[in-house]
Amino acid sequence: MIGRFLRRLARLPARLPRGLLRAWRRSITLRVVTATLVLSVTVLALLGQLVMRGVRDGLVDSKVSASRAQAAAGFASAQSRLEAAGTPQRANVGQLLTQIVTALRDQAGSSSLYELVLVPSPTVDADVPAGRLRIATGGVRPASVPAAMATALADEPGSRADRFVSICYGGTDEPCAPDAPRLPAFVVGTQFSVSGAGSYQLYFLFPMTAEAKTLDLVQSRLALAAGALLVLLGAIAALVTRSVVQPVRSAARVAERLAAGGLAERMVERGEDDLAKLASSFNGMASALQRQIGQLEDLSRLQQQFVSDVSHELRTPLTTVRMAADVLYDGREDYPAPAARSAELMHDQLERFEALLAELLEISRFDAGAAVLEAEATDMRTVVRRVVDGVEAMAAAQYGSRIRVEEPTRECIAEIDPRRIERVLRNLVLNALEHGEGRDVRIRLAVDDEAVAVSVRDYGVGLRSGEAALVFNRFWRADPARARVSGGTGLGLSIALEDAHLHGGWLEAWGEPRAGAQFRLTLPRAAGAVLRESPIPLEPVDRRGPRLPPVPGPHHAPEQDPEVARDG
Amino acid sequence: MKQRVLVVDDDIALAEMLTIVLRSEGFDPIVCGDGDSALAAFRERKPDLVLLDLMLPGRNGIDVCRAIRAESGVPIVMLTAKSDTVDVVLGLESGADDYVVKPFKPKELVARVRARLRRQEEPTPAALQIADLDIDVAGHSVKRAGVPISLTPLEFDLLVALARKPWQVFTREVLLEQVWGYRHAADTRLVNVHVQRLRSKIEHDPERPEIVVTVRGVGYKAGPA
């Protein structure tokens, strides 16, 4: 039942206005205090009712027994007076009865402990003078005694009856007016007969004014106590919740600061209770985190130092070897053929070794997190031009490929590290040349408000499905049996990807077997901005739509080269 | 007369190899094996150029570079095994004019050495003026209100290149070609660091330059923005 009540309480917020709703959702204190108050009110109401009923029953019971005893004594005294009077004369009956009633009333003194009513039994004929006799003390109307009671007494002469009634005051003969003020009372009655004058009924009416007053008093005191108790309970609930919520809030604050990098942040530990335990566990966790991060940092520093040392230690002897090899290579014409060829081989392979070493060091610098972005505002067009200038001659001589560039006329300024981006683009272009089977390589540069993108498209062997994701893996080769012409190291694209990521940019590949491949580099124009979309689609424009040889038409961009498109 | 090159390198094999290459190219190389004796050798032999390894036992290359630069504008080319920007910039800021990253080709090294030894030969007006600076090209001096400002020959060349065509914007690549004398060397950090060094000597407020101005996304120019 309490569960259902709580569930209903939880649904209550739907009906609350918005601000209150938010406070309800966010404040545990509010919820706990409200729940405590609602439960306490229910319990106190039940308890109050129980107490009130007990008090009332007690009061009424003692009143009833006292009244019965009083009435019994009264009846006995009335009976003895009647017997003493013997058989009165018919005319004196009224006088006698009045005397008896007055005497009985006088026994109560001036207090209004009881009033008396004497009426003829309903069996007495109302037309005889005795039938009209009605005596009442204290202004009580005889009609206050219910007719049912009178009838019951008349049916069983000599018996006594009692019940609760409400009495009204006024003349002796009229019935009670419906709107007359009434008082609760206990009435005890009996019927007796006066010899020769018929039967009469005598009623003791005990007003319960004092008891009603006591009950009112008890009720008001109880309500006061309940109110005070409610305030107390509410305050206790608020206090307890606060003392629990406060450390939780402080834990949340410290956790936020920890997450923001303040690894030395700790909670205050006080006492030995559960909350202190929370604080100490929390601090233990923070210390463990700090220790682990510190260890990782140390490791990273060690790695960086190692890379740096290897770099220096390897490069100095390599420089000497390199210079010696160059001197030998320059003089190779003076040597016998085997020695001359050896000098050539050594020279070439040293170059490859050097490139491999440089890339290994570069990638380990990325792995150690030591790579730093040196961003400066640069026009991407100049970077592209520089790359093209650098490889154009080699492309024509070694691969028989031309490099075509399509770039916007407006500036393409972006905050980039030109050395890194130039390296990325050179890698992409060399990669395109190597796999382009002597066909042209197409570079497209595009820019929008937030990003700048360069795509490098070749029309060579392309990529099989699934390979687009693999090309950036270290030392990955599409076809391990295929000889490398340019002697690439297998790390170029991995480094390019790392460089792109360092800029917060994307480097993606698209390819289809025999349709060539396209690599797209997208960089945010402002350093640190987050990319949402690229100005160039990943799938090349000349491969969109149905996989059919493209037909020259207006929907093809003017830069479309039909010859190349047929190749694709 | 042969031009004298002081090689400061602790690696005996590399030093010998450098000697062989330099000698075959017609220079007169002198070798010095550690940083402590480098300054003495420099004072004694008065070389036309210093080839300085950055990592040296004893006094390290950066300190040697500063010491030499403190008393001479002689061209200094650093040999460094580290190509990280921090290391390169630190070397250039300590006064080196150029740097070569190991491993290098002999031809590349010789080209750089030659470029540093070759003086400006283009006919230029004898006196230039930019902002409140008077430049005496022939006399290699720069004065502000009659007070001479001490520039290294490279800084002087950089200033002259910019001042010769005020208002024209020079890309870093063009400056590399005109001042350092090589093409296709894409390392624009060289230009950046030297522009900073030049500014620290000639600008009233190097944080807000008025003589050598950065043109965002393009390069530098002489004159107010």
Within this chain, do residues B64 and B131 fall inside the same structural domain, yes or no?
no
From A321, A343, A363, the end of a domain falls on A363
Least confident of A60-74, A134-148, A364-378, A543-557: A543-557
pTM score: 0.53
Whether residues A392 and A403 fall in one domain: yes
Q: What is the pLDDT of residue B54?
A: 84
A281-336 pLDDT, tens digit each: 888 988 998 899 899 888 878 877 777 677 678 888 889 999 999 989 988 889 89
Boundary residue ending a domain (B117, B136, B151): B117
Rounded CA separation A403/A405 (Å): 7
pLDDT single digits (tens) A488-515: 678 889 999 999 999 999 999 998 888 8
pLDDT value, residue A546: 46
Once rounded to an integer, what is the mean pLDDT over residues A259-280? 82
Taking alpha carbons only, the member of A103, A106, A109, A58 closest to residue A85 is A103
Q: Which CATH number characterizes residue B87's domain?
A: 3.40.50.2300
DSSP state of B176: I
pLDDT of amino acid B29 = 94
Q: What is the mean pLDDT of residues A237-266?
A: 85
Residue B122 lies in a domain: no
For the cut 80, the answer to whether the pLDDT of residue A280 exceeds it is: yes
From A342, A363, A384, the end of a domain falls on: A363
Question: Looking at residue A522, which CATH number applies to its domain?
Answer: 3.30.565.10
For chain B, percent of residues with pLDDT exceeding 70: 92
Q: Distance between CA A450 and CA A442 in Å, rounded?
A: 23
Minimal CA separation from B54 to chain A, in Å: 10
The closest alpha carbon to A418, from B192, B142, B110, B32, belongs to B192
Q: Which of B16, B17, B177, B189 to mutate to test the interface with A (most CBs of A within 10 A)?
A: B17
Instruction: Flag whether B109 is in a domain.
Output: yes
Q: Is residue A272 part of a domain?
A: no
Same domain, A218 and A323: no
Q: What percent of chain A has pLDDT over 90?
A: 23
Residue of B nearest to A308 (CA): B82
pLDDT digits (tens, 9 = 90+) for B167-218: 788 888 888 888 887 765 557 778 888 888 889 888 888 888 888 888 887 7
A323: which chain B residues are within 8 Å (Cβ-Cβ)? 14, 17-18, 20-21, 105-106
pLDDT of residue A16: 59
Query: For A429-479, what is each residue's pLDDT tens digit?
Result: 998 998 888 889 999 999 998 899 999 999 988 888 888 888 888 888 766
Total of domains in chain A:
4
- B139 in the same domain as B105: no
Is A491 inside a domain boundary? Answer: yes
Work out the minimum CA distance from A243 to partner chain B, whole angstroms: 53
pLDDT number for residue B186: 54
| CATH code, domain with B141 | 1.10.10.10
Residue A513 pLDDT: 86
pLDDT, tens only, A163-174: 888 888 876 667
Q: Is B196 on the interface with A (CB under 8 A)?
A: no
The alpha carbons of chain A give a radius of gyration, in whole angstroms, of 55
| Environment class of A138 (CB within 10 Å of its CB; exposed 0-12, middle 13-18, buried 19+) | middle
Q: Are A495 and A416 part of one and the same domain?
A: yes
User: Does A500 lie in the same domain as A445?
Assistant: yes
A-chain CB neighbours of B106 within 8 Å are 323, 326-327
A93 and A78 together in one domain: no
Smallest CA-to-CA distance from A511 within A478, A556, A482 is with A478
Sequence-ordered list of residues with C-beta below 8 angstroms from that of A165, at least 6 positions apart, any chain: A144, A145, A146, A149, A184, A185, A186, A187, A205
- B-chain CB neighbours of A318 within 8 Å are 102-103
- Clarify whether residues A562 and A546 are in a common domain: yes
Q: Using CB atoms and an 8 Å cut-off, which of residues 105-164 of chain B contact chain A?
A: 105-107
Q: pLDDT tens digits for A179-210?
A: 777 888 899 988 888 776 778 888 888 888 88
**Domain co-membership, A555 together with A509:** yes
Question: Do B104 and B170 reside in the same domain of the chain?
Answer: no
- Summarised one tens digit per residue, pLDDT across range A147-168 is 888 888 888 877 888 888 888 8
Cross-strand pairs, A376: A416
Q: Which of B117, B136, B167 is the last residue of a domain?
A: B117
Tell me the CATH number at A349: 1.10.287
Looking at the fold, whether A79 and A110 belong to one and the same domain comes out as: no
In a domain, A359, yes or no: yes
Quote the radius of gyration of chain B (alpha carbons, Å). 18
The pLDDT assigned to A88 comes to: 67
Q: What is the pLDDT of residue A10?
A: 63
Which residue segment(s) compose the domain that A478 sits in?
A: 375-567
Mean predicted confidence (pLDDT) in A53-64: 91
User: In chain A, what is the greatest distance between 2 CA atoms, to the nearest angstrom?
Assistant: 179
Domain that holds residue B19: 3-117
- Residue that terminates a domain, selected from B117, B138, B166: B117
Residue A368 located in a structural domain: no
**In the prediction, which pLDDT does A92 show?**
75
In a domain, A273, yes or no: no
pLDDT of amino acid A405: 93
* Residue from the list B81, B216, B217 with its beta carbon closest to the beta carbon of A311: B81
Size of interface A-B (CB pairs under 8 A): 76
Residue B192 lies in a domain: yes
In chain B, the number of structural domains is 2
A255 has pLDDT over 50: yes
Beta strands in A289-398 (DSSP E): 376-379
Residues A116 and A12 in one domain: no
Q: By the CB < 8 Å criterion, does B104 face chain A? A: yes
Do B87 and B26 sit in the same domain of this protein?
yes
Residue B204 lies in a domain: yes
Task: Mark whether A220 and A354 lie in a shared domain.
Answer: no
Q: Are residues B180 and B108 part of one domain? A: no
Q: Which residues of B touch A499 (CB under 8 A)?
A: none
**A369 located within any domain:** no
In a domain, A459, yes or no: yes
Q: Which of A317, A326, A422 lies closest to B186 in CB terms?
A: A422
Contact A318 B102 (CB under 8 A): yes
Residue A275 included in any domain: no
Q: Give yes or no: residues A158 and A260 share one domain.
A: no
Continuous H helices in A156-273 = 209-259
A426 and A506 assigned to the same domain: yes
Mean pLDDT of chain A: 83
End residue of a domain, out of A363, A389, A417: A363
